[in-house]
Amino acid sequence: MHTKSSVCKQKWKEIDMSISKTRQLLVDVARQLFAKNGLENTTMNDIAQASGKGRRTLYTYFKSKEDIYYAVIETELERLSDKLDEVAARKISPQEKVIELIYTHLSMIRETVVRNGNLRAEFFRNIWMVEKVRKHFDLAEVELFRKVFAEGKEDGEFDIENVNLVADITHYCIKGLEVPYIYGRIAHGMKEEDTKPQVAKFVYGALGKSK
């Protein structure tokens, strides 16, 4: 027998799920329109019509086009963050995790930019907007590297004095490689399996280990 309290909780759960699905639909539709037409050439009316939800519903969730643009970037970064979490959870050595995290970050960033068509220009032209949204992602990634480096130090795989400093440096080095990696200016014409041993040798050397 269901109590009044349990019935109410179930109803609120269903409402929350409905809200979440509606919001995600609006974000997905907006991303597709941004990717096709660019941010400047997409209006809130376009998003409302394409989603089939109407302007009133759209403005219930988002105050402006910039607001929904931020949500699009957040969603894309969440995809990347989930992939990095998957790598960190693998039963592989800390050495292997570092290399996999680096390649996963760069490949996912490139995939994100490439698959978003006209939106890719906004990632570079309005970099300050992207930076504002990715702040939490950056902090989470640094923490991920801290854990891996701490694990490697404890296991004797890495010779690191300051784990926090090395994690910060690693994150910002990878971040600095994003644009040249996206444009194919790094290891042009080389396959990933060819570059990984060289990158690993460089990284392990920096971490006080050789392989």
Which residue reads 């970099």 in tokens? 127
| 181-199: pLDDT as tens digits | 888 888 777 788 888 888 8
Determine contact, residues 84/104, Cβ cutoff 8 Å: yes
Mean pLDDT calculated for residue range 53-62: 92
Q: Which of 37-41, 128-132, 140-144, 150-154 has the lowest mean pLDDT?
A: 128-132
| 59-109: pLDDT as tens digits | 999 999 989 988 988 888 888 899 999 999 999 999 999 999 999 999 988
Band (9; pLDDT cuts 50, 70, 90)? very low
pLDDT of residue 30: 93
In the chain, % helix, strand, coil (3-state, to 5) comes to 80, 0, 20
pLDDT of residue 7: 45
CA distance 205 to 159: 10
Per-residue pLDDT for 18 more than 60?
A: no
Three-state DSSP state, 116? coil
Other C-beta atoms within 10 Å of 112: how many?
Answer: 18
Band (169; pLDDT cuts 50, 70, 90)? very high
pLDDT of residue 15: 41
Closest residue by Cα to residue 108 from 131, 129, 79:
79
- Burial status of residue 176 (CB atoms within 10 A of its CB: 0-12, 13-18, 19 or more): exposed
